[in-house]
Amino acid sequence: MSIEEQLKRHPVFGLDSRQSWITAAFCGALLFLALSTISVSGVFFYGVVETFGVNREQASWPVTLSGSMLPLAGPLTGVLCARFSCRKVLLVCSFFTGIAVSLCYFAESTHFIVVFFGIIHGTTLSGLYVAANVLVAQHFEKRRTTACSFMFTAGGLNTVVFPPLLELFYSRYGIHAAFLLYGAIMMNAFPCCIALRSPPWLDKPKLVVQKKGTALDTVNYSSNRPIFRDSASEELHKQNSAECTDETHVFLEKINGEETSSSVGTSDKFVCSRHSGGSKPTGNNIVNCIKRELAPFATLSFLVSAMSFTVVNFGMALYVLLSTDLASDHGIEPSSAVYLLQAFSISDIAFRALSGIIIDSKILSLESVMLLGYLVQGAAFELLAWFGSFPMMLTASALMGLTCGARIALQAPVIAKDFGLKRMPVVMGAVYFCIGVALLLRPPIVGYFRDRHGSYNGLLHCTAAVNGVLLIVWTLKLLKRKKQGLPLGNGQLSEKT
């Protein structure tokens, strides 16, 4: 059995182990903090209007940019996660995200807040989101979906805690102090990231330079991780324990435990193969390298994943945006309309926790949950279009929360299943970018249907139709997987290179 397989099966540090669940808990705490910016954007919005005396368009830029940069910076943070590591991205982003918010305490104009809260804070939140998702997926295999749903359930609880807390800060101390205190809370993300580690079998090989009279005692694992050596690695250790007369470069290959004296060109998938003799890569090699890295984005799997989760997030954001206005159009009082969002939130959080357990317990397959989600979401939009009574709208709200909560945490498992863990950071960043672009299109789409046609019914029917198309797509994926005789659960996923 190879060292990699031994590490994966280790009861403490392996896949689905105790360390894996600790990682999921800390990543859940990260999402609890990172996604709170969306839930408190309203407090900062009217706080900026009242404090700086600007119009609402100017005041909306900081909160709009922070929410937009979170998905739009996905490709950048995904590449950084693949190039360096998820842990390094988490450490850097968690360190700067709270500082950027706290610096708004010194803001004398909205331009300062736009830069620090909107751009810098929003970009670091993207790093926290992408890296946390990838890291949890790397630590799990059989219970990957359960872990992701657990993480997103913890992240969804911020809607209960942070809005009233930020309202208290603003009402008592003003908007500047609210920024300072909220930034201080966000700084708690940094200790969470210190406790996180990448899986030992995914650590990049370490190049150790040994000089005369030194012994090679360095292995690329931290002291609290298990170390396995086979006969080849033991022989290598004995040979290098003797006195060396020349400066040598020793590479410990942790998969086979064998010495590789040649240059290591495959340790990083974003670097083209190095050539012997120090020769520089040719133009054709660079082009081939670029084509190889862009290959996943030209596949049908990427198109399906991007469309699927764009529709999930767009539908959720659209309903949250329109719920009160829809209720008003049907003659429902605003005091009663708030119960629509409460029904949505309760069912959303409940099914975030349940969906992963249902899939990993093989009650339903991942494909089945996805296609049922589009069926229910399409039905909920049609209910909103055809019925205007409060009980029917309340039912539609609960169904909308159910379907969004059941699928919001499935992005990482689906991408890991289709593309493998090695390509996952970049693909996830690209998918999240597509979600961000779609969310930016909400204002003109809403304005076209409501202002030009005087009703949201056309928008609701179109959204239901898109859900119907994806229902067919995921039905075909389910039938294809059954035809191939592949397991429908989330366990034993192949980790493609």
Assess contact for 442 and 317: CB atoms under 8 A. yes
- With tokens 């330079």, the residue in question is 209
pLDDT attached to residue 381: 94
User: Looking at the 3D structure of the chain, how many domains does it have?
Assistant: 2
Residue 483 corresponds to which tokens in the numbers above?
A: 């035809």
Does any domain span residue 267?
no
Task: Check whether residue 310 and residue 196 sit in a common domain.
Answer: no
Domain boundary residue among 174, 204, 234? 204
**How far, in Å, CA of 459 to CA of 35, rounded?**
27
Task: Check whether residue 40 and residue 153 sit in a common domain.
Answer: yes
Does any domain span residue 457?
yes
pLDDT attached to residue 267: 42
CB atoms within 10 A of CB 167: 15
**Which CATH number goes with the domain that contains 199?**
1.20.1250.20
The residues, ordered by sequence, that sit 6+ positions from 204 with a Cβ below 8 Å of its Cβ are 85, 267, 268
pLDDT in tens, the chain (497 residues): 677 777 777 777 788 888 899 999 999 999 999 989 888 888 888 889 889 988 877 888 888 888 888 899 999 999 999 888 899 999 999 999 999 999 999 999 899 999 999 999 999 999 999 999 999 999 998 899 999 999 999 888 888 889 889 989 999 999 999 999 999 999 999 999 998 988 887 765 554 444 444 444 444 444 444 444 444 444 434 444 444 433 333 333 433 444 343 333 444 444 444 444 445 556 677 777 777 777 888 889 999 999 999 999 999 888 888 888 888 888 888 778 778 888 898 999 989 989 889 998 889 999 999 999 999 999 999 999 998 888 999 999 999 999 999 999 999 999 998 888 888 899 999 999 999 898 888 888 888 888 887 888 899 999 999 999 999 999 999 998 888 865 554 444 444 43
Assess contact for 426 and 370: CB atoms under 8 A. no
Does any domain span residue 277?
no
Does any domain span residue 220?
no
Q: What separation in angstroms does the CA of 488 have from each of 6, 86, 154, 275?
A: 26, 29, 27, 42
DSSP track, 310-339: HHHHHHHHHHHHHHHHHHHHTT--HHHHHH
Does any domain span residue 285?
no
Task: Check whether residue 39 and residue 186 sit in a common domain.
Answer: yes
Does any domain span residue 150?
yes
Element spanning 449, H or E? none
Domain boundary residue among 151, 184, 204? 204
Does any domain span residue 257?
no
Element spanning 438, H or E? helix 424-440
User: Helices 334-360 and 366-386 meet at what angle, rounded to 10?
Assistant: 160
Which domain range does residue 166 map to? 7-204
Task: Check whether residue 329 and residue 462 sit in a common domain.
Answer: yes
CA 277 to chain centre: 41
Does any domain span residue 190?
yes
CA 71 to chain centre: 9
Amino acid making up residue 306: A
Domain boundary residue among 172, 204, 236? 204
Residue 73 corresponds to which tokens in the numbers above?
A: 């910076």
pLDDT attached to residue 159: 83
The strand pairing partners of 252, in sequence order, are 259
